[in-house]
Amino acid sequence: TGTGPRRRFHAAGFLQRRLSGGERREVQREILAVLGLPGRPRPRTPAASRAPAAAAPLFMLELYRAVAGEEEEEEEVSRPVLTGFSTQSPQPGSAVSRADTVVSLVNMVEQDRDIFSPRPYWKEFRFDLTQVPAGESVTAAEFRIYKARGVTRHPNNTLHVSIYEIAAEHSNRESDLFLLDVQDLRAGTEGWLVFDVTAASNHWLVDRKYNLGLRLYVETDDGHSIDPGSAGLLGRRGPRSKQPFMVTFFRASPSPARVSR
């Protein structure tokens, strides 16, 4: 009901009232509450260096487009869960359709036992799940890592890539590991590898002390350990658009209790 400079004609032809500073903050607070956020997120790195090239935002943007397309069409298509060797572009699958929230997690720590260390070789990754939404349960979780051609002389040889959850670490002996997923592929293959790590993310959400990360091994057909870097598996030192990340799918718990505002 305002008048004068506080009202303006919108392009569509109807009168639109300009919000005061207080009203704007109130609107922002309400929208943040709908999104389930306590406050406005403040990403650490500047926007310009985050968005365009990084693998996780690119993947999530593709996922957003797929979900938005589904919402447009209002189709309930049931397709297989996103697992196995795939391209970067996600397909709208049942894991995506069922999820209320999808979070891509940036790899925080990467450790290698590479060709300069005793065998077996491995690569470790760690993700921070402290910011995941409360009151939601994990329906699926994927670890995505890019495989380049590598330095193999035998591109048709089979490689076994296995991913483990680090269950416990010991100072005097090898860590306790829990096998999550295995994939067999040709040494000359190039593209994104997707591993099912749902069990690990469930453990990590139960208690943060279990979050000791993931460990990846590569072996040949005859059981020889191969340095993951030499096999072409890219880590944090790879191009930004091909760095490993984790995607977790959450479903809101059907709790009747809602936060009152």
Residues that bind another protein (CB under 8 A): 12, 24, 27-28, 31, 34-36, 40-45, 47, 50-51, 56-57, 60-61, 63-64, 67-68, 71, 74, 99-106, 128, 130-131, 133
CA dist 33 and 13 (Å) reads 30
CA dist 159 and 186 (Å) reads 6
Q: Which is nearer to another protein, 27 or 168 (CB)?
A: 27
Total residue length of the chain: 261
Return the SS3 of 215.
strand
Amino acid code (one letter) for 26: E
Residue 206 Cβ, how far from another protein at the closest point, in Å? 20
CA dist 28 and 113 (Å) reads 48
Q: Which is nearer to another protein, 42 or 237 (CB)?
A: 42
Q: Which is nearer to another protein, 39 or 118 (CB)?
A: 39
Q: What is the DSSP letter of 49?
A: H
CA distances from 253 to 139, 232, 234, 248 (A): 11, 40, 36, 15
Q: Which is nearer to another protein, 50 or 203 (CB)?
A: 50
Classify residue 221 by burial, with Cβ atoms within 10 Å: 0-12, 13-18, 19+: exposed
For the record, the structure tokens of 154 come out as 């035998």
Q: Which is nearer to another protein, 33 or 182 (CB)?
A: 33
Residue 135 Cβ, how far from another protein at the closest point, in Å? 13
Residue 247 Cβ, how far from another protein at the closest point, in Å? 9
Residue 197 Cβ, how far from another protein at the closest point, in Å? 16
Nearest to 117 by CA among 239, 228, 231: 228
CA distances from 126 to 50, 156, 173 (A): 20, 31, 20
Residue 51 Cβ, how far from another protein at the closest point, in Å? 7
Residue 65 Cβ, how far from another protein at the closest point, in Å? 8
Residue 186 Cβ, how far from another protein at the closest point, in Å? 31
Q: Which is nearer to another protein, 131 or 171 (CB)?
A: 131
Nearest 5°: phi and psi at 70? Answer: -65, -40
Q: Is the peptide bond before 120 cis (omega within 30 degrees of 0)?
A: yes
Q: Which is nearer to another protein, 59 or 146 (CB)?
A: 59
